[in-house]
Amino acid sequence: MSVRESTFFGFANPVDPRPEEIQAWAYHPEAVPLDAMPPDWDLLIAGDVLAPTLFELAMDRQCPARRFALHCMYIYAADGVRPNASSQRKRRLKKYVERAEEVGDEPMSIWAHNCRVLMTRPELFDYQEWIEGGLVRHPRRLGLFGRR
For 91, the 3-state DSSP assignment is helix
Q: What is the pLDDT of residue 139?
A: 96
Count, residues in the chain: 148
Give the model confidence (pLDDT) of 17-57 as tens digits.
999 999 999 999 988 888 899 889 999 999 999 999 999 99
Question: Most distant CA pair in the chain: distance in Å?
Answer: 48
The answer to whether the predicted template modeling score (pTM) of the entire model surpasses 0.85 is yes
**Separation between Cα atoms, residue 48 and residue 53, nearest integer Å:** 10
Mean pLDDT rounded to a whole number for the chain = 92
Q: What is the pLDDT of residue 95?
A: 98
Q: Annotate 15-79 with DSSP letters as a single string.
A: TS--HHHHHHHHT-GGGS-GGGSPTTHHHHH-STTTHHHHHHHHH-TT-TTHHHHHHHHHHHHHH
Domain ranges of the chain: 19-137
